[in-house]
Amino acid sequence: MASMVVAPAVGLSETFTRLKQKGKHFFYAKVAFIPYITAGDPDLSTTAQALKVLDSCGSDIIELGVPYSDPLADGPVIQAAATRALAKGTNFNAIISMLKEVVPQLSCPIALFSYYNPILKRGVEKFMATIKDAGVHGLVVPDVPLEETGILRKEAVKNKIELVLLTTPTTPTDRMKAIVEASEGFVYLVSSVGVTGARSSISSRVQSLLQEIKKATDKPVAVGFGISKPEHVKQIAGWGADGVIVGSAMVKILGEAKSPEEGLMDLENFTKSLTAAIS
């Protein structure tokens, strides 16, 4: 069966620019919906299908996690997903092969979420060239401090990959400003201290952090970590975020479903409930 032809995805920055223009046309701020899933959980075939489901349900950017054995920033749900994916034999080369097949069928860009060790293992230069070749537009590396991002940023620029940097509620103001200045694509605001994972509520501190960052930059700001319900998405959009990132709740659905088919169906329904909250 022939693959559906879609308009090629644009980069992260361009995606936010288009949303802003669309928002002006409709007289409201259009907030980017950014789901996260772990590659290879429950298997890469399901990951490929999940990327298509997320795209068709209105995702603006999709974060795809590269499973790693020591994911320091991740809570139990994503850690368990990474463990399952690695146990199934998921590796970087297999993920790249899958992306080469799937990315041309997607209308939204992919941002890889990878810890630094797998990047160093391959070599920064080779890693960046490889993900560019697979059609990836962005990269998030949660465990690299700003001072050590020089080579990553250099190779990212060379390969037209937007390197997204993270700032947290405990980041000092001067450091936050430096991170914001260096970040490409968007600024990733971590909503809470600690690891990823669904939380019952979102701290109102996020609202003041958003205002603080927006005083320092015109770059889009997306909020992630702990967001798991339509009401969270709506609340963060109302606080002025340019994007909302939902991870653990997505990963849990796919990883804990009785079958891949059921997981994909539940993922579709859940994604629609989240995108409806900000449409």
Catalytic machinery residues: 63, 74
**Cα angle for residues 182, 14, 3 (degrees, 5° grid):** 125
Q: Helix H segments across the chain?
A: 12-26, 44-56, 76-87, 92-102, 116-122, 124-133, 150-158, 173-182, 205-216, 230-238, 248-256, 260-277
Instruction: Identify whether the C-beta of residue 249 lies closer than 8 Å to the C-beta of residue 61.
Output: no
Calculate Rg over the CA atoms of the chain.
Answer: 17
What is the SS3 assignment for 25-71? Answer: HHCCCCCEEEEEEECCCCCHHHHHHHHHHHHHCCCCCEEEECCCCCC
